[in-house]
Structure 1
Amino acid sequence: MTASVTPSYAEVEVGTAIPGRDFQVRLVDEIRYCGAGLDFVGVHWNERVARSVGMPHVVAHGPLTEAKALSVVNAWTGDPAAVVEQQARFLSPVLLPDDDIGARFHISGSVIEKLAEKQVVITMSVTSQEGAELAAVRVVVRLR
């Protein structure tokens, strides 16, 4: 689901909504992410280790959640190279029970500022099904 044309700077206003998307991340997805990033810290794949540090389930990598948010921005711009900078704040852990469901969350955002050089600032919010904010991602993109 990629936009066919990058939105133009002239047509985007502060408050322009970035179309949201629902995501599902299962434990097997997290284990694959561990392998791709060569980061096998136990809390990210082993429920026994996660419980030993007070978590009820395995915890998804923050950058995996961040990447999902950036995929929503990329779908809106139609161009992954439009991203100039990004930063994320992880507010609550994304917990992954060892079942067929895992974690489900919604990612949406909006333009909060127009900058010079055809750039805009977007904030993306990652929200659990229960309404808890899991992460906030700030992205600067260059439009046409």
Structure 2
Amino acid sequence: MPISRSGFDVTPLASPRISELASDFTPEEKHVILHQGTERPFCGVFLDNKQDGVYTCRLCALPLFESSAKFESGTGWPSFFRPFDPDHVKEITDRTHGMARVEIRCARCDAHLGHVFDDGPPPTGQRHCLNSISLAFVAKGEPLPLRS
């Protein structure tokens, strides 16, 4: 069983388990999370969230980003300069739409999260640009879910 640096099980989920976890998703959630779609800018529920806590994968609940790494990018999507744990986010070259960019997915369930760009603030210079619909939020002091 692969364990991340922060101690979470990152064993890839089997297709039947992913289907089970996504069974109550709306068509829009399925389009973005399972089929690499993108939600419209400036409409996501977490764009203006200022609470302290952890953003987790909407599908499998793996911790992905901390609020302390969130910043206002002006793009219309929640943006972060570093992941909760680099082992929790995988990067894939995306050559769709006539451009080359880097897609980010959940390392455990392969859910589409968004893209990462090299125009972010210090200390990393990265901007992880995420779809709110791909995320859930756990407020500081609340236990992180263990779903997988």
Question: What TM-score comes out, normalization by structure 2 length?
Answer: 0.26
Which structure carries more helix by proportion?
Answer: 1
Structure with higher Rg: it is 1
Tell me which of the two structures has the higher relative contact order, counting C-alpha pairs closer than 8 angstroms and 6 or more residues apart: 1
Tell me the TM-score normalized by structure 1: 0.26
